[in-house]
Amino acid sequence: MENFTGSFTQQEPIPAAGIAAATAVMQHGRLHRYNTVDGETAETALLEEEFAAQTGAQFCLAVASGGYAMTTALRACGVGHGDRVLTNAFTLAPVPGAIAAVGATPVFVGVTPDLTIDLDDLAGKLDQADTLLLSHMRGHICDMRRLIALCDAAGVTVIEDCAHTMGAAWDGVPSGRWGRFGCFSTQTYKHINSGEGGLLISDDAEGMARAIMLSGSYMLFDKHSAAPPPETFAQIKYETPNISGRMDNLRAAILRPQLADLAQQAGRWNDRYAVLAGGLEDTGGLMLPHRPASEQFVASSFQFLLLDWPSDAVADVIARCKTRGVELKWFGGAEPTGFTSRYDSWRYAPSAPMPETDRVLAGIVDMRLPLTFSLADCALIARIIKAEVSAVWQSRAA
């Protein structure tokens, strides 16, 4: 029997240009984003300029984490204690956590078998909140034109969680450019890696001015070159609290060369995804999410569904793959494990049963797809998954 011996958590090294830039920052010691000498533009400000240009956004703010980006966006949109915020039932804990952090309550929206937000369910719940925190969970993007049309008609503000879609697009429009804010993560397992970090983009001058003040700019907002003009801050600077969550120059220096390589890296991820998807086609009992032509995705992870399988059979597949070195995660477990949890795991966020969503969640199997995997590794992983799914499927059929 073939076995896989690679690591599902090992990322590629930081590029040499990032290491050199980080070393330069450490040598001059000006790690704080506002600590500059005459004529110097901080690494953090340069990162903001470059990410704004790459996404086509007017404004960009670099912050301490993707979760901080979401809470800042919510606060900048005026969401606070006692409000309700629509969000995906299929997501990771930082998304409902950001809603809870501002004192609001999540209202969960269902998931389709293609792992996107259920727009029919959303349409029926738009009267329950004024804001949607939309999670492009695991890089799956819904029909954004329909979603925005629904939300605009209902007067619902959209904030995009793009932690898994940096570099992705729908109909050629970059992820994060559909809503009032786009929130990104630069945590280790995301598309550019600074350990922790986040980026916030917007065309809304007033909203971004509030976000910059919230991030802890003091009265140094004029050092943000991808920011609204200073007059936008005239009143906002007096009425917005400082909730410090700035990115530092060291992390920005590490990120800038990675951002320049993002398109090339996205192609490499998608090459690996294609090998896995090709290897798992026509596997009995296994379903792959449909990826429409309008979705220009970046596949840094891989999902398949064992839809309507008994939970013990799904657990059997996961255990069998693990013995052969393939680490799979399951979103259908009753108890949260590692990073996997589901809407009824978050006891701080009350929820009603969602039978169709529960059916989908019970079948979702997830796998990280680091670029340290070769195409041959991906072909091997596909063979192992196919063999073990087929073995369990056939034994159940017998």
Predicted pLDDT at 339: 85
Tens of pLDDT, residues 163-172:
999 999 999 9
Six-digit token pair at 145?
Answer: 């034109």
Contact 297, 140 (CB under 8 A): yes
Q: Which residues contact 63 (CB under 8 A, 6 or more apart)?
A: 69, 72, 197, 198, 199, 200, 215, 245, 246, 247
Instruction: Read off the DSSP letter of residue 219.
Output: T
Sign of CA dihedral 145, 299, 96, 33: negative
Contact 105, 350 (CB under 8 A): yes
- How far apart CA 172 and CA 203 sit, in angstroms, is 18
Predicted pLDDT at 232: 98
- How far apart CA 183 and CA 176 sit, in angstroms, is 7
Predicted pLDDT at 335: 83
- How far apart CA 99 and CA 115 sit, in angstroms, is 21
Task: For helices 249-260 and 262-280, give the axis angle rounded to 10 degrees.
Answer: 60
At residue 80's C-alpha, the angle toward residues 77 and 85, to 5°, is 75
Tens of pLDDT, residues 215-224:
999 999 999 9
User: Does CATH place domain 262-397 in 1.10.357.10?
Assistant: no
Nearest to 309 by CA among 395, 393, 222: 393
16-260 against 262-397: fold identical: no
- How far apart CA 205 and CA 218 sit, in angstroms, is 18
For residue 334, pLDDT over 80 is answered with: no
SS3 336: coil
Predicted pLDDT at 342: 87
Tens of pLDDT, residues 102-127:
999 999 999 999 999 999 999 999 99
pTM for the model stands at 0.97
User: Does CATH place domain 16-260 in 3.40.640.10?
Assistant: yes
- How far apart CA 138 and CA 302 sit, in angstroms, is 8
pLDDT band at 370 (very low <50, low <70, confident <90, very high): very high
Tens of pLDDT, residues 264-307:
999 999 999 999 999 999 999 999 999 999 999 999 999 999 99
- What percentage of the chain carries pLDDT values higher than 90? 94
Nearest to 200 by CA among 13, 66, 349: 66
**DSSP strands (E only) in the chain:** 59-63, 84-88, 105-109, 131-135, 157-161, 169-170, 173-174, 181-185, 198-202, 295-296, 301-305, 329-330, 364-368
pLDDT band at 329 (very low <50, low <70, confident <90, very high): very high
Six-digit token pair at 343?
Answer: 């809407």
Nearest to 124 by CA among 354, 294, 332: 354
Neighbours of 22 (CB within 10 A): 22
For residue 338, pLDDT over 90 is answered with: no
Q: Where are the domains of the chain?
A: 16-260, 262-397
Predicted pLDDT at 1: 85
Tell me the pairing of strands 84-88 and 105-109. parallel
Nearest to 273 by CA among 296, 305, 306, 300: 300
Instruction: Read off the DSSP letter of residue 178.
Output: S
Neighbours of 122 (CB within 10 A): 22
Contact 186, 170 (CB under 8 A): no
Burial class from Cβ neighbours inside 10 Å (0-12, 13-18, 19+) for residue 281 reads exposed
